[in-house]
Amino acid sequence: MEILVIYNKLKDPSGEYLKYLLDFLDKKNLNYVIDCNYNYKNIDKEIDYINKNNLYDLIITLGGDGTVMHGCKHALKYGCPIVGINTGTLGFLTQLDIKNIDFLDNFFLKNYKLENRSVIEVKINSKKYFAINDIVIARSDIIKLSDFDLYCNSKKVLSYRSDGLIVATPTGSTAYSLAAGGPIVDSSLKSLILTPISSHSLKSRPIIFNFDKKLKIVSRSFNKTKISIDGNIIKELTKDEFIDIKISNLTYKFVNFDDKNYLKIFNSL
């Protein structure tokens, strides 16, 4: 069995947790490769997800939710399952804490469930990108609000005057979308969650779209707006430029040991 370990040095500067994990893997005579050069803010903007070489049987991330997101991009690339070990704070996306690493035995004993999680496909000027968490279209100017038109299956839904718009996956519903007032959505669902950021309207509310819906967001602002995908700025939109958004046919596999849910995390706050 080949394992890819993605290790966030910022969450474990002494290497204590990494050593603990590697000792565990060594005792089981498992082969592993360590990616310790990970820096979330410097993730490649685009990965060839179609070229699945199946080099690994499992990806283990050691860090927080950002580390898991980075690992999910590799899970898409290699077509293998992923499990996150939390060394950060809340750990919405992680399955295990470093203290209960023995739970990993359940994977090797095949005592687990695989959860297929959805991915957003974004098309910008004929170029495709994929998002694990979210796409954010936000103002570049710190003073002025931005204007957007939202279309669903070619029909206009609403016009927005706001700081920006977030389109998230259910996995991403606990990230920026949640902070902006969006709902928490079960991660096993296939849907698009649209959340306005500081909208200047009483009727502007988050909207959950079914997986078969295709969205189009058009910038109507004279001031430029920036597009970021999973925290990486991709480009600026000028007036009347647009992006197309839909649920991709691609999914990635999340290891689930004990039906961990967000309510357990909230109850621990």
* Per-residue pLDDT tens digits for 103-138: 899 998 899 999 999 999 999 988 999 999 999 999
DSSP state of 36: -
Measured from the Cβ of residue 215, the count of other Cβ atoms closer than 10 Å reads 23
Encode burial over 250-266: b for 16+ CB neighbours within 10 A, e otherwise: bbbbbbbbeebebeeee
HSE at residue 111, side-chain half, CA atoms within 13 A, is 7
What is the rounded distance in angstroms from the CA atom of residue 146 to the CA atom of residue 161? 6
pTM, entire model: 0.86
- Give pLDDT, residue 264: 62
pLDDT at 116: 93
Contact call for residues 137 and 148 (beta carbons, < 8 A): yes
Contacts of 53 (CB under 8 A, 6+ apart): 77, 78
Cβ atoms 111, 104 nearer than 8 A: no
Catalytic annotation, pick one of 12, 65, 147, 163: 65
Question: How do residues 177-199 score in pLDDT, each as one tens digit?
Answer: 999 999 999 888 999 999 999 99
Q: How far apart are CA 27 and CA 13, in angstroms?
A: 24
Alpha-carbon gap, residue 112 to 258, rounded angstroms: 8
pLDDT tens for each residue of 198-253: 998 887 899 999 999 999 999 998 888 999 999 888 899 989 999 999 999 999 99
pLDDT-derived band of residue 53, with 50, 70 and 90 as boundaries?
low
Active site residue 259: no
The two three-digit tokens of residue 227, written as one number = 């597009």
